[in-house]
Chains A and B, each alone.
Chain A
Amino acid sequence: MGPRRIAMLLMLAATQAWAQPAPPPVPAPPAATGSGKRILLPPPLRWDNVMLSYRPALQQTATDFATLTGGLAFGMAPAALNALLPEPYPKPSWSDLALANEYPGEVRFFGVPIGSAGALRMNLTACTGARGYVVFLFNANGLLRLSYRLIGDKTCPDTNEAAQEIFARYVALGQGVATSVRYRTGNTQVVDITDPTAGYLTSVHWNQGGN
């Protein structure tokens, strides 16, 4: 290869480096709806031709999670997360946070009303109950889980639809990016979104009145 060609290739490489915008994150597909029933759409799997092995069909990353949540990332410190909230929690320092007793080891948390959770409210159309809130749980490594807790009350006796609406948004993310689980305890619908590297902590469920 001649020197002129080398120089040309170097110049082309330098140009390409800044001319290409970063690929946009994969948007979370909306859940499909029919007359009265919602079908949740997890990301597809891709199988080989003889259907012996599979892998996720979409390349999803922490960026997709951040896009959905208004900039959150697992591992984030309480203060950093708090700075993203439209109405920050007054005392986000580690020692001021309450202990979450349902977890083994030291897990601390703070919560905000769902109405003031900004992007995490997910543009809900269904009712959430006046006391619905989002809890942020942290261990020594940072943000471990966000947990939506939608409590039924007189104005909104059934928060199932809202929980399903929130859940549908997270189901579109692969379990390798954010592990989404939903369940009911007492009159509360819970949607837990957990760091996929959290291991056995993923299986810890909150019990209304039991922790």
Chain B
Amino acid sequence: MTGRLLACALALLSAAQPVNAGPQSFDLDLHVPPVIADSTAPTKCTVTYVIADLANNDLYAARMRIDPAETDSPVHNRLPCPPDMPPRVGLRALDVCVSRSGESKYCVFADMSRGFEQRPDIHNTAENASRCASDKASDIGVACWMSGKLSVCNVACADSPQDALVRARARCEDKQQHDCPITATVPVSGP
């Protein structure tokens, strides 16, 4: 009996082999999404830094996802982020730019102090004001003015893209004493 069943199973397996061996069709018409996300699951912590590449005039959003502790519980469906970020996380955020621009001196945090255009280096930027945490904000905004070819920017966090832009622009205009018409925003948790 055992032998007959195994022989039967092996025969079925070998019958399936030609299907496996040939190129597979990826269009199986299953009509189901490949990944089904739980839309009700709480948002895990992401801390997003905005980094500026002064050489190429690029901005990067460096997203750091932080695993929750077992004891963490969501508030308003958002898992908490650590209240303080160790400097090493900010340094890794800068690396996102350094590894792509090739020159570390051109990569700075995007929240810049007044007079940055006179002394454009990282000491005139604020690490803690260049990041937003997903437990406090859903969007991070940037507003800049152009000093020649150099973008001088500030960053703000908010719970909508529109608010993030308004706040970033207000912060930039207040801090820089310039009109800051160049703006951008991304979701903190990313697409």
A residues sitting closer than 8 Å to B (CB atoms) are: 3-4, 6-8, 10-11, 14-15, 17-18, 21-24, 29-30, 32-42, 44-49, 51, 54, 57, 160, 164, 167, 171, 175, 179-184, 203, 205
B9 is contacted by which of A11, A46, A167, A181 (Cβ under 8 Å)?
Answer: A11
> What residues of A have a CB within 8 angstroms of the CB of B34 in the complex?
21, 23-24
- Find out whether the CB atom of B59 lies under 8 angstroms from the CB atom of A38: yes
- Find out whether the CB atom of B190 lies under 8 angstroms from the CB atom of A49: no
Shortest CB-to-CB span from B80 to chain A, Å, is 11
Question: Which 9 residue pairs of A and B lie closest in terms of their CB atoms, listed nearest first?
Answer: A34-B184, A3-B2, A44-B63, A37-B184, A7-B9, A32-B186, A10-B9, A7-B5, A29-B191
- Find out whether the CB atom of A183 lies under 8 angstroms from the CB atom of B101: yes
- Find out whether the CB atom of B13 lies under 8 angstroms from the CB atom of A14: yes
**A27: nearest residue on chain B (CB-CB)?**
B191
In the complex, A160→B144 CA distance in Å? 18
Shortest CB-to-CB span from A44 to chain B, Å, is 4
- In the complex with contacts A32-B61, A41-B190, A11-B96 CB distance below 8 A: no
> What residues of B have a CB within 8 angstroms of the CB of A6 in the complex?
5-6, 9
Within 8 A of A (CB), among B89-141: 89, 92, 96, 99-102, 141
A37 is contacted by which of B9, B63, B144, B190 (Cβ under 8 Å)?
Answer: B144
A–B complex contacts, Cβ < 8 Å, 27 sampled = A3-B6, A10-B10, A11-B13, A14-B16, A15-B16, A21-B30, A29-B191, A32-B61, A34-B185, A35-B165, A36-B182, A38-B58, A39-B185, A42-B61, A42-B63, A45-B63, A46-B65, A46-B67, A47-B64, A49-B68, A51-B86, A54-B92, A167-B58, A181-B99, A181-B100, A183-B56, A184-B56
> What residues of B have a CB within 8 angstroms of the CB of A57 in the complex?
63, 65
- Find out whether the CB atom of A32 lies under 8 angstroms from the CB atom of B185: yes
- Find out whether the CB atom of B96 lies under 8 angstroms from the CB atom of A17: no
In the complex, A182→B58 CA distance in Å? 10
- Find out whether the CB atom of B67 lies under 8 angstroms from the CB atom of A39: no
> What residues of B have a CB within 8 angstroms of the CB of A24 in the complex?
34
> What residues of A have a CB within 8 angstroms of the CB of B184 in the complex?
32-39
- In the complex with contacts A34-B185, A39-B59, A183-B102 CB distance below 8 A: yes
**B67: nearest residue on chain A (CB-CB)?**
A49
> What residues of B have a CB within 8 angstroms of the CB of A17 in the complex?
16, 20
Q: Is the interface of B mostly helix, strand, loop or mixed?
A: mixed
In the complex, A23→B33 CA distance in Å? 11
Other A-B pairs beyond A14-B12, A38-B58, A40-B61, 4, CB < 8 Å: A24-B34, A29-B191, A181-B100, A183-B56
- Find out whether the CB atom of B101 lies under 8 angstroms from the CB atom of A181: yes
Interface string of B42-57 (1 = CB under 8 A from A): 0000100010000111
> What residues of A have a CB within 8 angstroms of the CB of B41 in the complex?
none
**A17: nearest residue on chain B (CB-CB)?**
B20
A41 is contacted by which of B64, B144, B191 (Cβ under 8 Å)?
Answer: B191
- Find out whether the CB atom of B60 lies under 8 angstroms from the CB atom of A40: yes
In the complex, A14→B11 CA distance in Å? 11
Interface string of B168-191 (1 = CB under 8 A from A): 000000000000011111110011
In the complex, A86→B182 CA distance in Å? 38
- Find out whether the CB atom of A39 lies under 8 angstroms from the CB atom of B60: yes
Shortest CB-to-CB span from A150 to chain B, Å, is 13
> What residues of B have a CB within 8 angstroms of the CB of A205 in the complex?
102
B19 contacts A by Cβ under 8 Å = yes
> What residues of B have a CB within 8 angstroms of the CB of A22 in the complex?
24, 26
